[in-house]
Protein backbone atom coordinates (compact mmCIF):
# COMPACT_ATOMS: atom_id res chain seq x y z
CA UNK A 1 0.00 0.00 0.00
CA UNK A 2 1.23 3.53 -0.82
CA UNK A 3 1.43 5.75 2.27
CA UNK A 4 2.15 9.46 2.46
CA UNK A 5 5.73 10.25 3.34
CA UNK A 6 6.87 13.74 4.35
CA UNK A 7 9.04 15.47 1.75
CA UNK A 8 11.86 15.64 4.35
CA UNK A 9 11.99 13.13 7.17
CA UNK A 10 13.84 10.91 9.58
CA UNK A 11 13.79 7.15 8.95
CA UNK A 12 15.09 5.39 12.06
CA UNK A 13 16.76 2.09 11.21
CA UNK A 14 15.68 -0.68 13.57
CA UNK A 15 18.92 -2.58 12.92
CA UNK A 16 20.32 -0.84 16.01
CA UNK A 17 17.13 -1.22 18.06
CA UNK A 18 16.55 -3.75 20.82
CA UNK A 19 14.96 -6.69 18.97
CA UNK A 20 13.26 -7.94 22.14
CA UNK A 21 11.05 -4.84 22.17
CA UNK A 22 10.75 -3.53 18.64
CA UNK A 23 7.26 -2.10 19.17
CA UNK A 24 8.40 -0.01 22.16
CA UNK A 25 11.50 1.13 20.30
CA UNK A 26 9.42 2.26 17.31
CA UNK A 27 6.82 3.92 19.57
CA UNK A 28 9.54 5.90 21.31
CA UNK A 29 10.60 7.62 18.06
CA UNK A 30 7.45 7.57 15.94
CA UNK A 31 6.43 11.16 16.71
CA UNK A 32 9.63 12.33 14.99
CA UNK A 33 9.74 9.80 12.16
CA UNK A 34 8.35 9.79 8.63
CA UNK A 35 8.95 6.08 8.13
CA UNK A 36 10.76 3.12 9.66
CA UNK A 37 13.82 1.75 7.89
CA UNK A 38 14.19 -2.04 7.82
CA UNK A 39 17.47 -3.60 6.73
CA UNK A 40 17.12 -6.94 5.00
CA UNK A 41 20.43 -8.82 4.65
CA UNK A 42 21.02 -12.29 3.18
CA UNK A 43 24.67 -13.14 4.00
CA UNK A 44 25.38 -13.22 0.25
CA UNK A 45 25.21 -9.68 -1.01
CA UNK A 46 26.36 -8.49 2.41
CA UNK A 47 28.09 -10.46 5.19
CA UNK A 48 25.22 -10.37 7.66
CA UNK A 49 21.79 -11.90 8.16
CA UNK A 50 18.81 -9.95 9.48
CA UNK A 51 15.11 -9.51 8.95
CA UNK A 52 12.58 -11.25 6.69
CA UNK A 53 8.96 -10.67 5.69
CA UNK A 54 7.51 -12.21 8.88
CA UNK A 55 9.05 -9.49 11.04
CA UNK A 56 7.79 -6.84 8.61
CA UNK A 57 4.34 -8.38 8.91
CA UNK A 58 4.45 -8.15 12.72
CA UNK A 59 5.66 -4.56 12.59
CA UNK A 60 2.90 -3.57 10.17
CA UNK A 61 0.41 -4.51 12.88
CA UNK A 62 1.96 -2.25 15.54
CA UNK A 63 2.80 0.93 13.62
CA UNK A 64 1.10 3.14 11.07
CA UNK A 65 4.40 4.53 9.85
CA UNK A 66 5.42 3.52 6.32
CA UNK A 67 7.80 0.56 6.31
CA UNK A 68 10.88 1.20 4.20
CA UNK A 69 12.52 -2.12 3.32
CA UNK A 70 16.12 -1.92 2.15
CA UNK A 71 16.88 -5.20 0.43
CA UNK A 72 20.60 -6.01 0.61
CA UNK A 73 20.11 -9.38 -1.03
CA UNK A 74 20.92 -11.32 -4.16
CA UNK A 75 17.92 -12.16 -6.35
CA UNK A 76 15.46 -9.67 -4.82
CA UNK A 77 12.72 -10.38 -7.38
CA UNK A 78 11.49 -13.52 -5.66
CA UNK A 79 11.09 -11.67 -2.35
CA UNK A 80 9.21 -8.60 -3.49
CA UNK A 81 5.69 -10.01 -3.38
CA UNK A 82 6.07 -11.42 0.12
CA UNK A 83 7.50 -8.16 1.46
CA UNK A 84 4.61 -6.23 -0.08
CA UNK A 85 2.06 -8.69 1.30
CA UNK A 86 3.75 -8.34 4.70
CA UNK A 87 3.25 -4.58 4.67
CA UNK A 88 6.28 -2.98 2.99
CA UNK A 89 5.41 0.49 1.69
CA UNK A 90 8.75 1.23 0.05
CA UNK A 91 11.32 -1.23 -1.27
CA UNK A 92 14.83 -0.43 -2.42
CA UNK A 93 17.12 -2.85 -4.21
CA UNK A 94 20.80 -2.55 -5.04
CA UNK A 95 22.15 -1.75 -8.47
CA UNK A 96 25.45 -3.64 -8.04
CA UNK A 97 24.14 -7.21 -8.24
CA UNK A 98 21.23 -6.75 -10.58
CA UNK A 99 21.55 -7.35 -14.32
CA UNK A 100 17.83 -6.69 -14.82
CA UNK A 101 17.20 -3.72 -12.60
CA UNK A 102 14.49 -2.27 -14.80
CA UNK A 103 12.51 -5.48 -14.41
CA UNK A 104 12.93 -5.46 -10.62
CA UNK A 105 11.85 -1.83 -10.33
CA UNK A 106 8.79 -2.53 -12.48
CA UNK A 107 7.93 -5.51 -10.27
CA UNK A 108 7.98 -3.26 -7.19
CA UNK A 109 5.94 -0.53 -8.88
CA UNK A 110 3.38 -3.04 -10.13
CA UNK A 111 2.70 -3.84 -6.47
CA UNK A 112 1.61 -0.23 -5.96
CA UNK A 113 4.39 0.81 -3.58
CA UNK A 114 7.40 3.13 -3.90
CA UNK A 115 10.47 1.73 -5.66
CA UNK A 116 14.02 2.76 -4.94
CA UNK A 117 17.48 1.92 -6.15
CA UNK A 118 20.36 1.76 -3.67
CA UNK A 119 24.01 2.46 -4.49
CA UNK A 120 27.08 1.46 -2.52
CA UNK A 121 29.83 3.96 -1.66
CA UNK A 122 32.01 2.79 -4.56
CA UNK A 123 29.22 2.92 -7.14
CA UNK A 124 29.26 6.13 -9.18
CA UNK A 125 26.17 8.28 -9.70
CA UNK A 126 26.61 7.86 -13.47
CA UNK A 127 25.39 4.25 -13.20
CA UNK A 128 21.95 5.62 -12.36
CA UNK A 129 21.45 7.50 -15.62
CA UNK A 130 19.32 4.86 -17.34
CA UNK A 131 17.20 3.95 -14.32
CA UNK A 132 16.69 7.32 -12.63
CA UNK A 133 13.45 8.22 -14.40
CA UNK A 134 11.94 4.85 -13.40
CA UNK A 135 12.44 5.08 -9.65
CA UNK A 136 10.73 6.98 -6.85
CA UNK A 137 13.88 7.34 -4.79
CA UNK A 138 17.61 6.68 -4.69
CA UNK A 139 19.18 5.34 -1.50
CA UNK A 140 22.78 6.54 -1.27
CA UNK A 141 24.81 4.31 1.05
CA UNK A 142 27.26 6.39 3.04
CA UNK A 143 28.84 3.30 4.63
CA UNK A 144 29.53 -0.13 3.14
CA UNK A 145 26.30 -2.03 3.66
CA UNK A 146 26.09 -4.85 6.19
CA UNK A 147 26.33 -3.32 9.63
CA UNK A 148 25.09 -0.47 11.74
CA UNK A 149 27.37 1.86 13.69
CA UNK A 150 30.03 2.47 11.02
CA UNK A 151 31.68 5.80 10.28
CA UNK A 152 30.16 8.06 7.67
CA UNK A 153 32.10 8.15 4.37
CA UNK A 154 32.59 11.85 3.61
CA UNK A 155 32.81 11.39 -0.17
CA UNK A 156 29.09 10.61 -0.10
CA UNK A 157 28.38 14.32 0.18
CA UNK A 158 29.75 15.12 -3.28
CA UNK A 159 27.92 12.09 -4.68
CA UNK A 160 24.65 13.36 -3.27
CA UNK A 161 25.26 16.81 -4.79
CA UNK A 162 25.97 15.19 -8.17
CA UNK A 163 22.80 13.11 -7.90
CA UNK A 164 20.74 16.15 -6.94
CA UNK A 165 22.05 17.96 -10.05
CA UNK A 166 21.19 15.00 -12.26
CA UNK A 167 17.65 14.86 -10.86
CA UNK A 168 17.30 18.61 -11.45
CA UNK A 169 18.69 18.45 -15.00
CA UNK A 170 16.31 15.63 -15.90
CA UNK A 171 13.41 17.51 -14.26
CA UNK A 172 12.51 14.50 -12.11
CA UNK A 173 10.94 14.34 -8.67
CA UNK A 174 13.09 11.47 -7.42
CA UNK A 175 13.79 11.58 -3.67
CA UNK A 176 17.25 11.12 -2.18
CA UNK A 177 17.64 8.91 0.90
CA UNK A 178 20.97 8.69 2.73
CA UNK A 179 21.90 5.65 4.81
CA UNK A 180 24.91 5.06 7.01
CA UNK A 181 26.66 7.00 9.75
CA UNK A 182 24.04 9.74 9.77
CA UNK A 183 24.05 11.78 12.98
CA UNK A 184 23.47 15.28 14.25
CA UNK A 185 27.06 16.15 13.28
CA UNK A 186 26.57 15.62 9.53
CA UNK A 187 22.85 16.13 9.11
CA UNK A 188 23.03 19.80 8.17
CA UNK A 189 25.61 19.28 5.43
CA UNK A 190 23.59 16.34 4.07
CA UNK A 191 20.47 18.44 4.04
CA UNK A 192 22.27 21.19 2.15
CA UNK A 193 23.60 18.63 -0.33
CA UNK A 194 20.01 17.68 -1.19
CA UNK A 195 18.98 14.74 1.00
CA UNK A 196 15.24 14.29 1.56
CA UNK A 197 15.08 11.20 3.77
CA UNK A 198 17.63 10.52 6.52
CA UNK A 199 18.17 6.95 7.75
CA UNK A 200 19.69 6.83 11.22
CA UNK A 201 20.32 3.65 13.18
CA UNK A 202 22.92 3.84 15.91
CA UNK A 203 22.66 7.61 16.37
CA UNK A 204 19.04 7.00 17.42
CA UNK A 205 18.77 3.55 18.99
CA UNK A 206 22.26 3.22 20.49
CA UNK A 207 21.93 6.60 22.19
CA UNK A 208 20.95 7.10 25.82
CA UNK A 209 17.53 8.34 24.80
CA UNK A 210 16.28 7.28 21.34
CA UNK A 211 13.36 9.66 21.75
CA UNK A 212 15.56 12.69 22.45
CA UNK A 213 17.98 11.78 19.66
CA UNK A 214 15.14 11.37 17.16
CA UNK A 215 13.69 14.70 18.30
CA UNK A 216 17.03 16.45 17.81
CA UNK A 217 17.43 14.98 14.31
CA UNK A 218 13.81 15.80 13.45
CA UNK A 219 14.30 19.43 14.48
CA UNK A 220 17.48 19.76 12.42
CA UNK A 221 15.74 18.19 9.40
CA UNK A 222 12.75 20.50 9.65
CA UNK A 223 14.54 23.58 10.95
Residues that bind ligand DX5 in the complex, under the rule CB under 6 A: 13, 15-16, 37, 39, 70, 143, 145-150, 179-182, 199-203
Question: Which CB atom, from 38 or from 129, has the smaller least distance to Zn ion?
Answer: 38
CB-nearest residue to ligand DX5: 201
Q: Which residues fall within 8 angstroms of residue 152, CB to CB, at 6 or more apart?
A: 142, 143, 180, 181, 182, 183, 186
CB of 161: closest distance to ligand DX5 in angstroms?
A: 20
CB of 7: closest distance to Zn ion in angstroms?
A: 20
Considering CB distances under 5 to 8 angstroms, the limit depending on partner class, which of Zn ion, ligand DX5, none binds residue 182? ligand DX5
- The catalytic position among 42, 68, 136, 179 is 179
Question: Which CB atom, from 86 or from 92, has the smaller least distance to ligand DX5?
Answer: 92
Rounded CA-CA distance 176/157 in Å is: 12
CB of 169: closest distance to ligand DX5 in angstroms?
A: 28
CB of 201: closest distance to Zn ion in angstroms?
A: 8
Q: Is residue 68 flagged as an active site residue? A: no
Buried b (16+ CB within 10 A) or exposed e, 103-135: ebbebbeebebbbbbbbbeebebeebeebbeeb
Considering CB distances under 5 to 8 angstroms, the limit depending on partner class, which of Zn ion, ligand DX5, none binds residue 180? ligand DX5
Going along the chain, which residue ranges are E strands?
A: 9-12, 36-41, 67-72, 90-94, 114-119, 137-141, 175-179, 197-200
Q: Is residue 179 flagged as an active site residue? A: yes
Query: Exposure of 76 by Cβ count < 10 A (0-12 exposed, 13-18 middle, 19+ buried)?
Result: buried
Rounded CA-CA distance 91/165 in Å is: 24
Site for Zn ion, rule CB under 5 A:
39, 70, 179
Question: Which CB atom, from 15 or from 195, has the smaller least distance to ligand DX5?
Answer: 15
Give the residue numbers annotated as catalytic, written as ranges. Answer: 39, 179
Amino acid sequence: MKKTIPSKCLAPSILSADFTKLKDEIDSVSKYSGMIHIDVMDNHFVPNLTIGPCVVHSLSKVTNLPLDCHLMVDKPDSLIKSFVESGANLISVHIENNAHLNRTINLIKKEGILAGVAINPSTPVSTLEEILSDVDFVLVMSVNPGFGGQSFIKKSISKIKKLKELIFEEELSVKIEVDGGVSISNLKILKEAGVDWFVAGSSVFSSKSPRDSAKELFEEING
